[in-house]
Structure 1
């Protein structure tokens, strides 16, 4: 499959709708002019297009793929030198804490989704501020006792060694989260209906 055109093939294989086009009238449709316009707008540090270009050029190192470790994993798109912060993002990584009691009001299927993808600690569930319809690919990092990523002193994931293009990125769940990792949380998903 060619690198360009793969999105359309992938979209068709999952029977996903085509992206919104300029003529769509949905109130939340993106401003396609911004997407399609490649005019010579001034490029300066405060300009979103400039920042996005710099992000693509200097900070995008990873993609999702099929893992031989477990399900979906995160893989190096290009070589990642030791000390690099390969999962930098332009979106907020902040989280809001919710009690399990508060989440009992949420449909059971959504609670299961939270249990699969959110940190649960001391009776609190940490939900990303960007919501659950956006993806922070770091949640797909698989566990390894010989990881190539780890948290630095600023609590940001950093390459512990040089990582080759195509290699799966991993963290040691036990070391990263300070306790032996448990892969199931029945308490959050029990009870309630959809």
Structure 2
């Protein structure tokens, strides 16, 4: 779950993005996996889905780096965070996200999707957990 105030808006990177409402200092913990709200879904359940549900999970979930038998679906607006090769947020930990530098109000929060996928993230192909 996000631990800072954000809002969604049109992103110059891709579709919708997550933007800071207030200044966020470098090193701030901005997100923490919270099993009370965030969903950890069995890969078998994901693979048995079809249609709109499968498409939604393809877009907004990622492999659970703690256990490859699961995927993570974030319950809040964190799932709209976009990729950047030079991100301002560090998602290298599977359970916490910190800011890599100061983030100004109105600035988009970004992360490197390659942390979620062992073989890297395919921006042109399908994104399957």
Normalising TM by the smaller chain, what interval? 0.7 to 0.9
Give the TM-score, by structure 2 length.
0.74
2:51 maps to 1:111: no
2:13 maps to 1:69: yes
Taking structure 1 as reference, are residues 162 and 176 closer, same or farther at Cα in structure 2, changes over 3 Å only?
A: farther
Taking structure 1 as reference, are residues 93 and 77 closer, same or farther at Cα in structure 2, changes over 3 Å only?
A: same
Alignment RMSD: 3.3
2:96 maps to 1:156: yes
Taking structure 1 as reference, are residues 89 and 185 closer, same or farther at Cα in structure 2, changes over 3 Å only?
A: closer
Match of residue 80 from structure 1: 24
Distance 1:65 1:126 in 2: 26
Higher strand share: 2
Which structure would you say has the larger RCO, counting Cα contacts within 8 Å and 6 or more residues apart?
A: 2
Give the TM-score, by structure 1 length.
0.52
Match of residue 126 from structure 2: 185
Gapped runs of 5+ residues in structure 2?
Answer: none
Paired residues of 1:62 and 1:86 also in contact (CA < 8 A): no
Taking structure 1 as reference, are residues 87 and 62 closer, same or farther at Cα in structure 2, changes over 3 Å only?
A: farther
Higher helix share: 1
Aligned length: 123
Distance 2:95 2:32 in 1: 12
Distance 2:116 2:50 in 1: 30
Paired residues of 1:95 and 1:127 also in contact (CA < 8 A): yes
Paired residues of 2:63 and 2:117 also in contact (CA < 8 A): no
Paired residues of 1:61 and 1:86 also in contact (CA < 8 A): no
**Larger Rg computed on CA atoms:** 1
Gapped runs of 5+ residues in structure 1?
Answer: 1-58, 189-194
Q: How far does residue 161 in structure 1 lie from its aligned partner after superposition?
A: 0.6
